[in-house]
Structure 1
């Protein structure tokens, strides 16, 4: 029984080695192959931290890092970091460079010209992916750009157990699929088969993500300038332009005369509109005067 177990174990190891040679397969055998390759690779000397180049026999680590620092010029530092990442075989997934304006004032220097003065602070939030074996080298290059390091976090997550669990789940899914194949064809078999296939696809996706995270480390970088910077921008003196065209006597007098003529027209039209009221008022006045005229002899 023991001899049979040893033979089966050797056969399993051989099969795992064959399957791991297939590019793009997200299986536990590939994790083991990559672990062997990592242990055989040359360890890059990282003067920043040994956590970035952690290697332990029979262990797999997903490594991430966060860097928060101040630099002399955010734009120049961003370009330099992006070039370094490209040279190391990595890529940038996010780069949000922006200038936060603290104040903005305009000073007139002549009747035609003004100077716009902006006080601002530039910052950039980046997320990059770099080959895991180059993480230490990247952190060293980033560290060379700093004026002041606010914080730096390096994580090395041990995913050895997760890889083993993924392997066991793959075997279970395969066994379940074999059991489903032996069932009679009916509605339940179709539903169970679909659920098992969906679970298998999800497991394969998770395995692919683990492979990708083992191969590439994610680094979040936040850089900013320590003090405010000033930008001087030559602009037109808008106040003198406004004063130049603010008032024109001849034009405004002409418009006032025309507006007065239109006002007379509107008053006349308004009086015509209320002619019934005027007519009634005239009749009432006439009646009242008549009555007053006839009462005057009584007082003599």
Structure 2
């Protein structure tokens, strides 16, 4: 009996040990699965967005072309996300392209303007390079359809080294110029060297800025036409209402005729010399014709 009890106790201890080992194994597997799921999410954006290599410097840029449900709402969300991540918007050109519009009268005073349009926006954003992957992930949540996406990581390690060497060369040249005797040529050399140094500093600052902030160009549009209904005034009824007023127009006609007579009289007064000369010419011509027609009559009577 005692032997059976000992055997049962050992069996229970053994089973508990096996169960504990399986539980530990199951627990250790869960972080691995979580890590795999994170890797899948990261891979969906592209390793180029978050790539880091020892002793290498990369200037990263991205270009996204996609269709969204609402361009305006997507624009607001993208710009807010950029600001929250420490970035800023350098360009946002939102516009609605109207493809058709017409006005339909709904009553004597009211009408409805119907516009069919499609909205689009071109956005350029500067994002801290370490936040580029996170920003692209957020953009991906706003898409209906992704037309294209490109991510570039340009290795500028050699360029940075070359810039440092050029800065040292410029400094050495400046020191050599200082040892030259003061003359006109020294001034020219110093000025040229200073201009070259300033240009080199500008290039260095620009490269540092591009390393710190990645440029993301985004083009978004809506897949189908949208319709806007705008309440307006029925202009046809307004035009008909005031198009013709007999009493008013008759009164204006009388006034206009009176002024027209005045203008004609004033015009004749202005050209009175011409009228007088014309009248004189007509008088003499007619008088001469009368004389000519009177001579033959006299001769006929004598005969």
The interval holding the TM-score normalised by the smaller chain is 0.7 to 0.9
TM-score between the two structures when normalised by the length of structure 1: 0.81
TM-score between the two structures when normalised by the length of structure 2: 0.80
By how many angstroms is 1:50 displaced? 1.1
Structure 2 partner of 1:107: 104
Structure 2 partner of 1:280: 281
Structure 2: gaps of 5 or more residues: 1-38
Query: CA 1:264–1:193 in 2, change beyond 3 Å: closer, same or farther?
Result: closer
Is 1:193 matched up with 2:190?
Answer: yes
Equivalent runs, 1:180-259 vs 2, <5 Å:
180-259=177-256
Structure 2 partner of 1:20: none
Deviations 1:211-231 (A, max 9, x none): 111111000011111111111
Q: Which moved more, 1:279-288 or 1:171-180?
A: 279-288
Q: Kindly indicate whether the alpha-carbon contact (under 8 Å) linking 1:46 and 1:52 is maintained by their aligned counterparts in 2.
A: no
Secondary structure in structure 1 of the residue aligned to 2:91? strand
Secondary structure in structure 2 of the residue aligned to 1:128? strand
Is 1:85 matched up with 2:65?
Answer: no
Query: CA 1:263–1:282 in 2, change beyond 3 Å: closer, same or farther?
Result: farther
Query: CA 1:49–1:275 in 2, change beyond 3 Å: closer, same or farther?
Result: same
Q: Kindly indicate whether the alpha-carbon contact (under 8 Å) linking 1:46 and 1:53 is maintained by their aligned counterparts in 2.
A: no
Larger Rg computed on CA atoms: 2
Secondary structure in structure 2 of the residue aligned to 1:208? helix
User: d(CA) in 2 for partners of 1:268 and 1:82?
Assistant: 74
Q: Which moved more, 1:269-278 or 1:133-142?
A: 269-278
Query: CA 1:164–1:136 in 2, change beyond 3 Å: closer, same or farther?
Result: same
By how many angstroms is 1:147 displaced? 0.6
By how many angstroms is 1:46 displaced? 5.5
Structure 1 partner of 2:45: 48
Query: CA 1:228–1:214 in 2, change beyond 3 Å: closer, same or farther?
Result: same
Structure 2 partner of 1:151: 148
By how many angstroms is 1:269 displaced? 4.6
User: d(CA) in 2 for partners of 1:296 and 1:107?
Assistant: 85
Question: May I ask how many residue pairs the two structures share in their alignment?
Answer: 258
By how many angstroms is 1:57 displaced? 1.6
